[in-house]
Amino acid sequence: MNEAEVALLGIRHHGPGSARAVAAALAQWQPDAVLIEGPAEADAVVHLAAGKDLVPPVALLAHAVDDPAKAAFWPYAEFSPEWVAIRHAVDHDLPVRFIDLPAGYGFAPSADGDGDADGDGSDGDAPDGLPADPLALLAEAAGHDDPERWWEDVVEHRAPGADALAPFAAVAEAMGALRAEGLGESRRDQLREAHMRQQIRAARRAGYRRIAVVCGAFHVPALETMPTVAHDRALLAGLPKRTRVDITWIPWTHRRLSQATGYGAGIQSPGWYHHLFTAEGDPVPRWLTRAAELLRAQDHPVSSAHVIEAVRLAETLAVLRGRPLAGLTETLDAVRAVLCEGSDVALELVRERLVVGDALGEVPDAAPAVPLQRDLARLQRSLRLKPAAAPRDLDLDLRKDTDAARSRLLHRLRLLGVEWGAPASSPVNSTGTFRESWRLCWQPEFAVRIAEAAQWGTTVEEAAVNKAVGTARSAVELAELTGLVETCLLAGLSGALPAVMRVLADCAALDTDVAHLAGALPALVRALRYGDVRGTDHAALAGAAVGLAERVCVGLPPACVGLGAGSAALMRARIDEVHGAIALLDPDTPTDTHADGGSGAGTDGLADRWAAALRSLARREPTGGPATGAPGLLRGRAVRLLLDDGRLDSEEAGRRLGLVLSVANAPADAAGWVEGFLTGGGALLLHDPRLLALLDEWLRGVSGEVFTDVLPLLRRTFAGLEAGVRTTIGGRVAAGPLGAAPAAPETAGELDRERADAAVPVLALLLGVHPKIPRQAAGRNT
């Protein structure tokens, strides 16, 4: 019996030239079986490539069944040689097998490697400091310092010749010489190549006479010379226990192809390579035409004459540089010089859209998937939210049922760790809660996160509810729980809210840290605002929020005593947040002015109790050192909030500012007080010149040594003011003493009615109205 013939087609992953060469070799050689470097588990899903619903770029996703976070990808584009081989096999009804080590060995705890397949040796450990990339050595031997450009000239820009197998023989000879010279392979490479040889032997035993093997060129020398079966079995006997895995097809993107994933063969220009593989005839003029269309769509003045000149420039540069065809470098140089007129901004647009691209593949519904993935696909279809690799903005009106359902889906996915949508600022200014804006961008790795989230449930809603409850039970911070409550309301998870609220109540009862309570309150109050538009029952939320607010009101003043500069800055932010939250909780409480700084704690409103807490904080001055009182930053902030709410008049605020800026107080404490008082706006210094005069007088009286210490605080304070306010304050200070009475305005001269009446007919003509000229003026005109 004649031994089966084996054709070893050594390729570079994601190379359009290699893909064309593989297509020509398979058409010429006509094998009866095709073996492809890839995880052996993929045999179960390769049949899906026979239909038209599996559209590249796609990727094989393998993940451990018990731990979906352990996953690996093997991506394929339309110009990937492996994909060309798969399509040839299914189109000609040939058996196709994947012959690399099963992915399950890569996920084992003691495995040597991370489970990714690497067809070109780029992750192998090369001895003696040799580079791991064999193409770099070949390019160096050929006198080229750029392996990418060398490979393009030798392979990618060359059309297959009369003998389609000749290029593969040449590549195999070059790789054999490199490995013979000492480009070593890693232990993992040896295991993988032993498994590939075993699979080739299995194909021979199955009776196939002409076997085509498509693999990374680095492995060809190891597959040409077959050692004994016992040798390979001994190597594979050291493999760890195989992990049980699931494998499927998932959509991939050109942008993700630009990263070294799976085969370890990321490419920088997938969009360009796709054009090289699919374009008929000379690819450069067609690609420059697409670039011109893109730039014209962005309002760049690009004409057909620009395209003609760019083609000429690219071809001329290729000749000057000794290249067989204009490559990407020459083409981009022509785009920058001619189409973009030297603009790197416009060139970056071409790089993003055409050199890389945003193509997103498609997989059939028959592809294996966890129930959670199928439920998500159903919701995407029903809500008309098609995943896309290109970022896009989505504005939702929550008063509409479809938009509300879309909002719930996006919030639920965020809770599950699938960041398909990110909240964005809306171009429409609105203070209501019925509008949401999102920025959507689908990433291929979301398939892994969905597989991980499948442990929580079989539908998106069920998984989100269970994940929320599980997160609440493991939460340690009160703010984390109140944020989770807000997420549950946004996501419409009524099934999770009671359990989360019980955990929140228990945690709030045990937490005595005022900073924690203050940090947790704003999210809870924001959640209360969603009740009207989302139809949620927030009675329990209101009770919890009021309880937190009351505890903050009681504990705030003593909690602020003795704080350092960093802690005081954090507490000031908390006070501002609580102030806004209480305004939402108790919006109808009337504000009354307490010019004397009286307590007002006897009122029943929550806002009144908060005002009393602020008054108490404002009075806690450090009488016996900084540790005996509240920092000036917080006391000044409390006075400003009371002033803005109308609970303190400007005269009382001025009196307190004068006391703080007196010589009896430490300059650093006074500077902190001013910072807290002016945070949020300094327009009151313009409206009340007395306050500005007090500040100016204090600043002029500070000694030189102390001024150096307080200067950073003052700079930070005034840097936060509006530019117009700073300019006006500077002008008033430069104009003279601020405490002097303002100069009386100059009296205007007497109106010259005769001259004014003379202008009336002209103004009437310009305005198109009938002039009403006084009688005496009319007499003069006649």
Residues sharing a CB contact under 8 Å with residue 401, sequence separation 6 or more, in sequence order? none
Contact 355, 272 (CB under 8 A): yes
Both structure tokens of 311: 């083609």
Q: What is the Cα–Cα distance from 434 to 452, expressed in whole angstroms?
A: 32
Q: What is the Cα–Cα distance from 390 to 396, expressed in whole angstroms?
A: 19
Lowest mean pLDDT among 68-82, 210-224, 698-712: 698-712
The pLDDT assigned to 749 comes to: 64
> Which of 206, 216, 185 has its CA nearest to residue 11?
216
Residue 52 exposure: Cα atoms within 13 Å on the Cβ side: 0
**148-163 burial code (b ≥16 CB/10 A, e <16):** bbbbbbbbbbeebeee
Residue with the two structure tokens 């997420």:
487
Contact 70, 63 (CB under 8 A): yes
The pLDDT assigned to 214 comes to: 95
Encoded amino acid at 304, one letter? S
Encoded amino acid at 176, one letter? G
pLDDT in tens, 428-458: 655 556 788 999 999 888 988 998 898 899 9
Strands 58-64 and 245-251: antiparallel
> Which of 23, 43, 26, 83 has its CA nearest to residue 212?
26
Q: What is the Cα–Cα distance from 159 to 22, expressed in whole angstroms?
A: 11
The H or E element containing residue 422 is strand 421-423
- Give the best-scoring range by mean pLDDT among 306-315, 517-526, 604-613, 664-673: 306-315
Q: What is the Cα–Cα distance from 218 to 239, expressed in whole angstroms?
A: 22
Percentage of the chain exceeding pLDDT 70: 85
- The pLDDT confidence band at residue 601, using thresholds 50, 70 and 90, is very low
Contact 591, 646 (CB under 8 A): yes
Q: What is the Cα–Cα distance from 367 to 360, expressed in whole angstroms?
A: 17
pLDDT over threshold 60, residue 661: yes
- The pLDDT confidence band at residue 530, using thresholds 50, 70 and 90, is low
Q: What is the Cα–Cα distance from 758 to 690, expressed in whole angstroms?
A: 47
Q: What is the Cα–Cα distance from 767 to 137, expressed in whole angstroms?
A: 83
Give CA torsion, residues 394, 398, 400, 404, to 10 deg: 80
How big is the chain, counted in residues?
A: 782
Contact 145, 139 (CB under 8 A): yes
The pLDDT assigned to 2 comes to: 56
The pLDDT assigned to 420 comes to: 94
Q: What is the Cα–Cα distance from 635 to 301, expressed in whole angstroms?
A: 60
pLDDT in tens, 163-180: 888 888 888 888 888 887
Contact 674, 638 (CB under 8 A): no
561 vs 509 pLDDT, higher one:
561
Encoded amino acid at 285, one letter? P
pLDDT over threshold 90, residue 463: yes
Contact 549, 583 (CB under 8 A): no
Helix segments in 680-752, DSSP class H? 683-687, 689-701, 704-719, 723-735
Contact 412, 457 (CB under 8 A): no
Other CB atoms within 10 A of residue 732 CB? 16
Both structure tokens of 596: 């004397």
Contact 147, 138 (CB under 8 A): yes
Strands 435-440 and 71-76: unpaired
> Which of 369, 375, 445 has its CA nearest to residue 412?
375
- The pLDDT confidence band at residue 709, using thresholds 50, 70 and 90, is confident
Both structure tokens of 77: 């584009």
Three-class SS state of 392: strand
Residues sharing a CB contact under 8 Å with residue 462, sequence separation 6 or more, in sequence order? 456
Residues sharing a CB contact under 8 Å with residue 196, sequence separation 6 or more, in sequence order? 35, 37, 99, 100, 213, 215, 219, 222, 223
Residues sharing a CB contact under 8 Å with residue 61, sequence separation 6 or more, in sequence order? 71, 72, 73, 247, 248, 249, 250, 447, 448
Contact 448, 486 (CB under 8 A): no
Encoded amino acid at 502, one letter? R
Other CB atoms within 10 A of residue 522 CB? 23
Encoded amino acid at 537, one letter? D
pLDDT in tens, 358-384: 888 999 988 998 899 999 999 999 999
Contact 628, 561 (CB under 8 A): yes
Contact 91, 51 (CB under 8 A): no
The pLDDT assigned to 112 comes to: 44
> Which of 442, 138, 441, 81 has its CA nearest to residue 273?
81
- Taking phi over 0 as left and psi of -120 to 50 as alpha, with beta for the rest, 52 belongs to alpha
Three-class SS state of 598: coil
The pLDDT assigned to 255 comes to: 84
Contact 644, 575 (CB under 8 A): no
pLDDT over threshold 70, residue 122: no
Lowest mean pLDDT among 42-46, 126-130, 234-238: 126-130
CA distances from 643 to 22, 597, 634, 677, 768 (A): 78, 11, 14, 10, 51
Residue 441: exposure state from Cβ atoms within 10 A (0-12, 13-18, ≥19): middle
Q: What is the Cα–Cα distance from 630 to 619, expressed in whole angstroms?
A: 9
pLDDT in tens, 264-312: 455 788 999 999 899 888 899 999 999 999 999 999 999 999 999 999 9
Other CB atoms within 10 A of residue 293 CB? 12
Please give the biggest Cα pair distance in the chain: 131
Mean residue pLDDT across the chain: 82
pTM, to two decimals? 0.69
Both structure tokens of 494: 């009524």
Both structure tokens of 656: 């307190």
Task: Calculate mean pLDDT across residues 538-547.
Answer: 76
Helix segments in 586-631, DSSP class H? 606-618
Both structure tokens of 111: 């495995």
Task: Calculate mean pLDDT across residues 177-203.
Answer: 85
Other CB atoms within 10 A of residue 773 CB? 16
Residues sharing a CB contact under 8 Å with residue 158, sequence separation 6 or more, in sequence order? 17, 167, 324
Contact 76, 54 (CB under 8 A): no
Strand partners, 7: 212
